[in-house]
Amino acid sequence: MADIMNQRIYQKLAEHLDRLPGGFDSSTTGADLRLLRRLFTPDEAELATCLTLDQETAKVIARRANLPLAEAEHRLTEMADKGLIFSLQPENRPPLYQAVPFVIGIYEFQVNRMSEGFLKDLDDYRITRKPRSQLARETIPQMRTIPLDQSIEPPLKALPYEQVEELVKAHDRFAVAPCICRRRARLMGGGCEAPEETCLMFGDFADFYVRTGRGRSITQSEVMEILAKANDANLVLNPTNSRFVAAICCCCGCCCGILKGLQTQPKPSEAVASSFIAELEPAACQGCWLCLDRCQMQAITAEGDHVTLNTDRCIGCGLCVSTCPSGALTLVRKPEAVQRETPATFFDTWHTIALDRARTHDPMEQP
């Protein structure tokens, strides 16, 4: 009887996560529920379904979950520490708690809890997920791509939230954590030589990562040093899809889920949230081939004594532009008609996606 009840609890949690940004696809083998069992106890799973994308006190959540306040506070604190929910600690006020998507959220919060069993369950889930309809996926992305500041040259103009230095300067609290994608790849016997400690957090997300032991507090100058190293390692800058960013991922094309997902698209330039795209003047190309290694999307290929650019595959990261000695490669702004909305905060982004998913929701098929 207990097993049947627990099965229902985890199924309810799966459905709850599926309504959040990013969704939570069902699996053909039940790997989705096995993964949730590994992360959540039955009590935690049940309580998680009582949280929303709104930031609420334990008192509000306890009332909704029909739990004593002290018990709810204890469970919520433990769940935040385990990376199953998000928490904020306002000054001189009670803590606030919030549901988070499986991705971006619960998965990334497991960066310091990746056991062999978790990695196996995660891989089983990845390869057995059921496909979803295109309609169910139509919304804004959680992340976007911005160019390196060095690749933005006059007469090209960029808005403050399209320039990484301006994004950083808008904050006063910073943290860095390991990149979960490269850490996972290395734990599974793969990976690359790119630096691992490159996942940058800001504001409330920085506080959460430091408070729960997922990252360490750093200064603004240290953030800029990490970004410089990311540039040297040919890493693409992917901040949260918000004008006031919560995080910036520094992504490689071999390990990172964001870029690997874009690489599978027939036209990554249309799938990405980016304001820019590269432009090539073939006659100016000196054939130095520096851009071939810089590009993470296979948008640039060698042809004779110069390179060619497939703009359908360009995501506007600017890596090729910043090291082009002849100026043959430049960035241009995409037409306004094809640029995507950029919400004010990442929490606004989550709410926008959740509303879009509610309008076009393709309910999970049950196994």
Q: Dump pLDDT digits (tens) for 239-286.
A: 999 999 999 999 999 999 999 999 999 999 999 999 999 999 999 999
The tally of domains found in the chain comes to 2
Q: Is residue 275 part of a domain?
A: yes
- Tell me, yes or no, if the pTM score tops 0.85: yes
Orientation angle between helical segments 2-18 and 31-39, nearest 10 degrees: 100
> Within a domain: residue 356?
no
Q: 188 with 116, same domain?
A: no
Whether residue 122 is found in the same domain as residue 213: no
Name the 3-class secondary structure at 185: helix
- Do 117 and 197 belong to one domain? no
pLDDT exceeds 50 at position 139: yes
**Domain membership flag for residue 142:** no
Q: What is the pLDDT of residue 338?
A: 86
> Does residue 210 share a domain with residue 275?
yes
Do 116 and 247 share a domain, yes or no? Answer: no
Q: Are residues 215 and 116 in the same domain?
A: no
In a domain, 358, yes or no: no
Residue 88: beta bridge partners? Answer: 96
β-strands 56-57, 96-98 pairing: antiparallel
Measure the CA–CA gap between 17 and 355, rounded to whole angstroms.
14
Question: Does 3 score more than 90 pLDDT?
Answer: no
Q: Check whether residue 238 and residue 328 sit in a common domain.
A: yes
Cα 44 to Cα 99: distance, rounded to the nearest angstrom: 12
291 domain-assigned: yes
pLDDT given for residue 121 in this prediction: 95
> How far is the C-alpha of 72 from the C-alpha of 63, rounded, in Å?
9
Domain span at residue 72? 2-132
Q: Name the β-bridge partners of 201.
A: 175, 247
**pLDDT for the residue 154:** 84
Q: Is residue 364 part of a domain?
A: no
Q: Are residues 112 and 184 in the same domain?
A: no
Mean pLDDT in residue range 49-78: 98
Residue 6 has pLDDT above 90, yes or no: no
**What whole-number distance in Å separates Cα of residue 85 and Cα of residue 246?**
16
Do 328 and 286 form a contact (C-beta atoms < 8 A)? yes
Residue 9 maps to which CATH number? 1.10.10.10
288 and 223 within one domain: yes
Contacts with 57 (C-beta within 8 Å, 6 or more apart), sequence order: 94, 95, 96, 97
How far is it, in rounded angstroms, from Cα 304 to Cα 279?
Answer: 19
The answer to whether position 155 is within a domain reads yes
